[in-house]
Chain A
Amino acid sequence: MLVLGRLALLAGFCALWEALPRVGLADPELLPPFSTVLATLGELLARPALLADLGTTTLELLVAVALALPLGTLLGLALGENERLARIFDPLVFFLFSIPKSIFLPLFILTMGIGFWQKVAFGVFSTLFIVLMSAAAAVRSVRPDHVFTARAFGASRAQIAWRVYLPSMLPILLEGFRLAVIFGFTAVLLAEMYASRTGMGHQIASWGENFMLQRLFAGVLLLSVVAIAMNEAIRGIEARCSHWRS
């Protein structure tokens, strides 16, 4: 019933998208019908050049996240475990977290150019604070009485880390990782749109500038699906690791 309802909603959305430009309620130049966009997407996906762009963007994101996750987690663990360190650094981290990262993009271009590593660096910069803050929150969510109990049954430090800290922290950590992927994707695409010769962001920007709306919409559709798929995949892992909560 629920699934049916949701499918109906999706179908309705596509139908509306199809109908509005066809019956003249929307300008087909500005909003190409859904079927046209789908066809364009099919054409684009058959092109090696576009697949290369998609690959570049994905790789930038993956590398950025692969760097930000361990780095942010380690820093977060340090802050979460060390009271004194936390009291010094917490406000700083919090302020940095609240600043929009996009305003630093020109600085990244000035110092690093417009290549692959600049996108990665900006991606890391944009996600690090989220990972760091969720890791710190995750450590603080570990209950002392759980640690105490494990000790009472003779747990070593390594066993406490592995069998108490990790499972306690996992739900919050994964939530942070999921947000990091979303923010990282945004950051990498933004950097590509701003200044780049490759990548999906670069393509989207140039299709927009050149008024190629069929392609623009096809690109939007593609990236939306990719983003949703990544998000759902992590949510699936989250659900498996935190079913015991509540």
Chain B
Amino acid sequence: MQPLAELNRDAAPAPRGMIEVSGLNHAYATRQGPVQALENVALTVGQGRFTVIVGPSGCGKSSLLMMLAGLRAASAGQILCAGRPITAPDPDRVGVVFQEANLFPWLTALDNVAFPLTLRRAPKAERQARARAMLELVGLGDAATRYPHELSGGMKQRVSIARGLVQDPPVLLLDEPFAALDEQTRMAMGEELLRIWAATRKTVVFVTHSLTEAVYLADEVLVMSARPGRIIDRMPVPLPRPRSYEMMASAEFGRLRDRIWQQIKAPAR
């Protein structure tokens, strides 16, 4: 695993948004003993690529994402972002959006979005201007002064995405960000995300349970096995962009979705 990293460091510097994971293993210590969550996970996400991770519940998707975000240390293995290891949260390189919007209820939408900048003690004017621009980007320009309890689920999630983007990190990680939303909102949010992605050209790693969502959004779908999670398939999605709702009815779309399904459907027990 080492040579890959070395090679990259010696050669031209890795692009800002490039993620390279190699030999990643993780076991949780529990009272019943160690629980192997990830086994020898390796993946590369190129600069500006939209990668979707799918896999059965409990296979370690969230764990993997937490490690990419520097929020949890892996038992073994290496994670490089822009050629440098990730060992602690680094909001300059990686933005995160969680399944629950996790907004701070005591802050307005604008202040929630500005929160990462506040932590860095950015000047107030700059903070507000950046946060406002991000709210505009997610289509919530007029909700800046509202508090989370005054926002719908979809709006909260968009605020959360704006917060993930506010420091302009080259990488955006999203852990089932639309899982709590209804089907309609979910579709609309997917489209919204693709629009934002096209506008900002971030590297995106997106975890979902929805196969349709996966195929609709991804450049490449990584399929994980049941625990211990391994990557059992890397499926490029050759559908043209911009993606449209109509594509979902195409034979190609169905074929891609079926390929994922065949691999993750639970074996009959």
The chain A residues found within 8 Å of chain B, CB to CB, are: 145-146, 148-156, 159, 163-164, 167-168, 243-246
Interface with A: B8-16, B42-50, B95-103, B204-212, which one?
B95-103
B89 near A151 (CB under 8 angstroms)? yes
Instruction: Give CA–CA (A156, B163) in the complex, Å.
Output: 18
Known: A145-B98, A154-B120. Contact between A245 and B105, CB under 8 A? yes
Interface with A: B53-61, B111-119, B227-235, B242-250, which one?
B111-119
A167 near B106 (CB under 8 angstroms)? yes
B89 near A153 (CB under 8 angstroms)? yes
Determine if B91 is an interface residue (Cβ-Cβ < 8 Å). Answer: yes
Determine if B259 is an interface residue (Cβ-Cβ < 8 Å). Answer: no
Query: Taking the nearest CB of chain B, how far is it from the CB of A187, in angstroms?
Result: 33
Known: A151-B71, A154-B91, A244-B149. Contact between A159 and B102, CB under 8 A? no
Instruction: Give CA–CA (A152, B107) in the complex, Å.
Output: 17
Query: Taking the nearest CB of chain A, how far is it from the CB of B71, in angstroms?
Result: 6
Known: A152-B69, A153-B91. Contact between A244 and B120, CB under 8 A? no
A153 near B149 (CB under 8 angstroms)? no
Question: Which residues, 56 to 114 on B, are CB-close (under 8 Å) to A?
Answer: 69, 71, 89-91, 96, 98, 100, 102, 104-107
B104 near A152 (CB under 8 angstroms)? no
B98 near A154 (CB under 8 angstroms)? no
Instruction: Give CA–CA (A243, B148) in the complex, Å.
Output: 12
Q: For B253, list chain A residues within 8 Å (CB).
A: none
Q: For B197, list chain A residues within 8 Å (CB).
A: none
B106 near A244 (CB under 8 angstroms)? yes
Partner of B104 from the list A154, A156, A167, A243 (CB cut-off 8 Å) is A167
Pairs A–B under 8 Å by Cβ, sample size 19: A146-B102, A148-B71, A149-B98, A149-B102, A150-B115, A150-B119, A152-B69, A152-B71, A152-B89, A152-B98, A153-B91, A153-B96, A153-B163, A154-B89, A163-B115, A167-B106, A244-B106, A244-B148, A244-B149
Q: For B71, list chain A residues within 8 Å (CB).
A: 148, 151-152
Query: Taking the nearest CB of chain A, how far is it from the CB of B159, in angstroms?
Result: 12
A154 near B119 (CB under 8 angstroms)? yes
Known: A148-B71, A244-B147, A246-B149. Contact between A168 and B89, CB under 8 A? no
Given A152-B69, A152-B91, 14 additional A-B pairs, CB 8 A: A145-B98, A145-B102, A146-B102, A148-B102, A152-B98, A153-B119, A154-B90, A156-B119, A164-B104, A167-B106, A244-B107, A244-B147, A244-B149, A245-B105
B104 near A153 (CB under 8 angstroms)? no
Q: For B107, list chain A residues within 8 Å (CB).
A: 244
Q: Please tell me the number of chain B residues within 8 Å of chain A, measured between CB atoms.
A: 22
Query: Taking the nearest CB of chain A, how far is it from the CB of B44, in angstroms?
Result: 23
Closest 7 CB pairs of A and B: A153-B116, A167-B106, A149-B102, A154-B91, A244-B106, A152-B96, A244-B105
Instruction: Give CA–CA (A149, B120) in the complex, Å.
Output: 15
Query: Taking the nearest CB of chain B, how far is it from the CB of A243, in angstroms?
Result: 8
Closest to B115 in A: A153
Query: Taking the nearest CB of chain B, how far is it from the CB of A175, in angstroms?
Result: 15
Q: For B149, list chain A residues within 8 Å (CB).
A: 244, 246
Instruction: Give CA–CA (A25, B223) in the complex, Å.
Output: 87
Q: For A152, list chain B residues within 8 Å (CB).
A: 69, 71, 89, 91, 96, 98
Q: For B102, list chain A residues within 8 Å (CB).
A: 145-146, 148-149
Q: For B91, list chain A residues within 8 Å (CB).
A: 152-154
Instruction: Give CA–CA (A244, B120) in the complex, Å.
Output: 25
Closest to A246 in B: B149
Query: Taking the nearest CB of chain B, how far is it from the CB of A240, in angstroms?
Result: 11
Instruction: Give CA–CA (A159, B89) in the complex, Å.
Output: 14
Instruction: Give CA–CA (A14, B220) in the complex, Å.
Output: 78
Query: Taking the nearest CB of chain A, how far is it from the CB of B108, in angstroms?
Result: 9
Closest to A156 in B: B119
Most buried by A among B90, B106, B115, B149: B106
Closest to B99 in A: A145
Instruction: Give CA–CA (A148, B100) in the complex, Å.
Output: 12
Q: For B104, list chain A residues within 8 Å (CB).
A: 146, 149, 164, 167
Closest to A149 in B: B102
Q: For A246, list chain B residues within 8 Å (CB).
A: 149
Closest to A168 in B: B106
Instruction: Give CA–CA (A93, B206) in the complex, Å.
Output: 48
Instruction: Give CA–CA (A159, B121) in the complex, Å.
Output: 11
Q: For A164, list chain B residues within 8 Å (CB).
A: 104
Q: For A151, list chain B residues within 8 Å (CB).
A: 71, 89
